[in-house]
């Protein structure tokens, strides 16, 4: 019960600080914020930095707690590593399926980074193929689950 109270106090403090920073923006004239760079930086930047640090904290805490949970439960660690291995194999398959042909825009000129043999071009193709492969697998599992549900009914 004590940790719940502590967590509620932290959440309230985060909300109050965010609220104060947000209210500071509304206390200033919107046009003045847009035209006066110093005023905009002094009012808007603290809220942006605060949000950014909250985001970083949330990511670090989430990853840390996930790792802690995995280390405490070796069975889940094995399943997670197996899943990551399968995803790595699928990424390798997608990488070898991708090409690095030249990419033209609507005007017929070559896009920056879209030159033939470009690494950017190849990784974009890899991402597309990876999405397609995972979409096909997800669709297959969806159909399989649908058929299983129809048979059970």
Mean of the pLDDT values across residues 115-137? 89
Distance CA 110, CA 91 (A): 27
Rounded CA-CA distance 43/49 in Å is: 11
Cα–Cα distance, 121 to 26 (Å, whole number): 44
User: Mean pLDDT of all residues in the chain?
Assistant: 89
Worst-scoring range by mean pLDDT, 51-55, 57-61, 77-81? Answer: 77-81
Q: Please give the pLDDT value at position 1.
A: 58
pLDDT in tens, 12-32: 999 999 999 999 888 887 777
Give the CA distances from residue 31 to residues 28, 37, 49, 86, in Å, rounded to whole numbers and listed in that order: 9, 11, 22, 53
Secondary structure of the chain in HEC code, one letter for each residue: CHHHHHHHHHHHHHHHHHHHHHHHHHHCCHHHHHHCHHHHHHHHHHHHHHHHHHHHHHHHHHHHHHHHHHHHCHHHHHHHHHHHHHHHHHHHHHHHHCCCCCCECCCCCECCCCCCCCHHHHHHHHHHHHHHHHHHHHHHHHHHHHHHHHHHC
Per-residue model confidence (pLDDT) at position 128: 94
> What is the distance between the alpha carbons of residues 131 and 91, in angstroms, rounded to a whole number?
10
- In this prediction, residues 56-69 reach a mean pLDDT of 94
pLDDT for res 104: 81
């Amino acid at each position: 019960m004590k940790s719940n109270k502590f967590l509620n106090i932290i959440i309230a403090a985060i909300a109050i600080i965010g609220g104060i920073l947000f209210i500071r923006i509304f206390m200033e004239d919107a046009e003045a914020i847009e035209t006066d760079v110093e005023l905009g930086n002094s009012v808007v930047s603290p809220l942006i930095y605060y949000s950014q640090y909250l985001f970083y904290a949330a990511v670090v805490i989430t990853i840390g707690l996930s790792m802690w949970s995995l280390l405490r439960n070796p069975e889940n660690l094995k399943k997670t590593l197996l899943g990551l291995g399968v995803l790595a194999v699928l990424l390798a398959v997608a990488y070898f399926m991708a090409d690095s042909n030249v990419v033209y825009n609507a005007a017929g000129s070559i896009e920056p980074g879209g030159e033939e043999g470009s690494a950017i071009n190849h990784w974009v193709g890899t991402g597309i193929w990876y999405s397609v492969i995972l979409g096909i697998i997800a669709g297959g599992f969806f159909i399989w689950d649908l058929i299983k549900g129809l048979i059970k009914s």
